[in-house]
Amino acid sequence: MSVLFYRRPDYVSQASGPMTSSTCQRYIERAGSRTAIPRGLSFESVLTGKTMPPCSLGDFMDYLTYIQHNAENLQFYLWLWDYKRRFAEKRLQDQALSPEWKSEPSLSSRTPVRGSRGSLAVRADPVADEVEYAEPSPDIPSSGIPFTTIPTLAPSRTAGGVASRASLTRNQGLKPTTQPFRAEIDKVVAHYIAIGSPRELNISARDRAKVISALQHTTHPSALALIGDVVDVTLRSHSHPNFIRWSICNGNKPYVFFVRSVGIICIVLSIIMMVLLTLSQASRWWRIAATPQLLFGIATIVAGYKGLCLILHAKGIRNVRPWEQFDDDIPSFVDEDGGATTTEKLREKRASLSAFGPKISVEKEHWVARYKNKSLLRKVFDKQEWVQDEGIRRLQAKIAFQSQLWAVVTGIPLVALFVVLPSGNFY
């Protein structure tokens, strides 16, 4: 990876409309090169708790909640991950009550298939080249079903709409109440899949109907594979790259704007200084005195463009996020002995957010009004804390070194140009 030309993960814009297989494919194509994200900050590393703030699982949940506003994807994904594990631990006779949901690839001309090494590949036609993305880690179970596969059995219709689950399962000789985790599956449908549910997933009406039809027959995890794989690709190829890009920034918006302004002022003052010395009778070597100020200004601008403050990076710290600043004032987040919890404990509580509950309303969060009322000066010089994750510090170090190299490459020739100019001798 070239240090001089290192780039953060490309920003992957959110597609309009519901999540579908075509949307997921666009996410994969827009995600760009995965070399920008080291192995230590991979999607699997974040979900398995191998990363530290500001790139922990709790920070990922915060990002999806307050920045991307689709935390339901991660909440559902974590529940499904745990549900697959719990279902596999059931006795075989209990699992037999919920047979695997049989599905087949859709008739779309672009059907993902499993590559030779187990990774998903996309074919435009039978002889087209494969477009692959990172192979899932063994630590995170995969459904093993391509995300565009759909159940072949359409939901039965009655005069009132889709038939009840009891009537559908009775045709197969199964009793819904005897199936393992039936009550939990009903709760998942009510929280994530049904229209108007508290944490409704942004999926198409077609996929929604097919998954509900599958869940009316069985509680096997394969019945959720259709939306499970869509959510998986969305998190891997859209949310995660954007989260890593966002985590590299060590300053908030007011602070980054302040740092950029300081950089511009340093560049302007250094150029003015060299111009005045050139027009004077002073020795031309005095013009070199503006070099440190010029290089600092250029390096600050380059790093600030990528959301990095060189001063904060040199100290190994970052600005605290707005929602982290007032955590000590939350009465519901206190230890049993009455003492206030630490920031790390609060992050752990967010990371273990219940899979079921109301949709988080950011506007009603306790910190929104208080942060909005803070003065601009206090926002610039906000609270700070250590950057604990080694992978993030290394990426920040690359950007910092890159900005310094660009400062030398562009600043030194400019200073040399002023040095070789003859003196104006105007004063």
Write the DSSP assignment of 369-421 as a string of letters. Answer: HHHHTS-HHHHHT--EEE---HHHHHHHHHHHHHHHHHHHHHHHHHHHHHHHS
Q: Tell me what pLDDT residue 413 has.
A: 95
pLDDT score at 158: 33
pLDDT tens-digit series, residues 39-86: 899 999 999 999 999 999 999 999 999 999 989 999 999 999 999 999
pLDDT at 365: 79
User: Which pLDDT does position 33 carry in this prediction?
Assistant: 54
pTM of the model: 0.75
- The CA distance from 244 to 248, in Å, is 6
User: What single-letter amino acid sits at 305?
Assistant: Y
Burial zone of 6 (CB within 10 Å; 0-12 exposed, 13-18 middle, 19+ buried): middle
The predicted structure's pLDDT at residue 425: 84
Residue of 141, 152, 348 whose CA lies nearest to 232 = 141
The pLDDT value recorded for residue 213 is 92
pLDDT in tens, 393-415: 999 999 999 999 999 999 999 99
| Closest C-alpha to 46, from 339, 234, 247, 301 | 247
For the chain, list residues with pLDDT below 50. Answer: 1, 104-175, 330-349, 351-352
Q: List phi, psi (to 5°) of 389.
A: -80, 125
**Residues facing residue 143 across a β-bridge:** none
CA 243 – CA 99 distance, rounded (Å): 37
Structure tokens at 20: 């579908």
Q: What is the pLDDT of residue 306?
A: 87
pLDDT of residue 16: 75
**70: closest CA among 234, 293, 275, 258?**
234
Q: Could you identify the residue written with the tokens 């996929």?
A: 207
The residue type of 387 is: V
114 secondary structure, DSSP code: E
CA separation for the pair 201, 167 (Å, rounded): 26
**Residue 171: predicted pLDDT:** 36
Distance CA 232, CA 236 (A): 6
Structure tokens at 209: 């109907």
| pLDDT value for 103 | 66
Q: Which residues of 94-127 are buried (b: 16+ CB within 10 A; e: fewer)?
A: ebebbbebebeebeeeebbeeeeeeebbbeeeee
